[in-house]
Amino acid sequence: MSDTTTPIDAEPGSLHALVLQQLDDDQAQEIVSIPLQGKSSIADHMVVASGRSTRQVAAMANKLAEKVKKSGKAMPRIEGLPAADWVLIDAGDVVVHLFRPEVRSFYNLERMWGFGEDGESRQMGRA
């Protein structure tokens, strides 16, 4: 993990922690969590991550939606699955954006929310 990133704090047992753990298990790349409490009423957290290909993005989205559904914490809604360039998973308190790297850099959601190159980055790192 680089010096500019801080670990993501997620309450154990929370939907946020479940999402982060599943994405890490599925080897998502560049997992970033943006706290939205006080900034937006759409969710408490926005998680942005990348997959190496459309196949990996689609697989991660399906597995994550199934895991959230089985947990009983939310009934996730998925958008963008057929193309799998950018998949949105709305799990209520946590909104997840899964991208192919090129699409992610084009839309640059982290910068729009004040994170990324010029903002504080809270990124999940690997040991």
Quick: pLDDT tens for 11-30: 888 999 999 999 999 999 99
What phi and psi values does residue 112 have, to the nearest 5 degrees? -60, -35
pTM score, two decimals? Answer: 0.83
H/E element, 1: none
Q: What is the pLDDT of residue 2?
A: 35
Q: What is the pLDDT of residue 7?
A: 60
Selection from 60, 44, 58, 42 nearest residue 9 by Cα:
44
Selection from 93, 99, 53 nearest residue 76 by Cα:
93
Mean pLDDT in order along the chain per 10 residues (127 residues)? 54 93 96 87 93 97 97 94 96 96 92 56 46
CA distance 127 to 119: 24
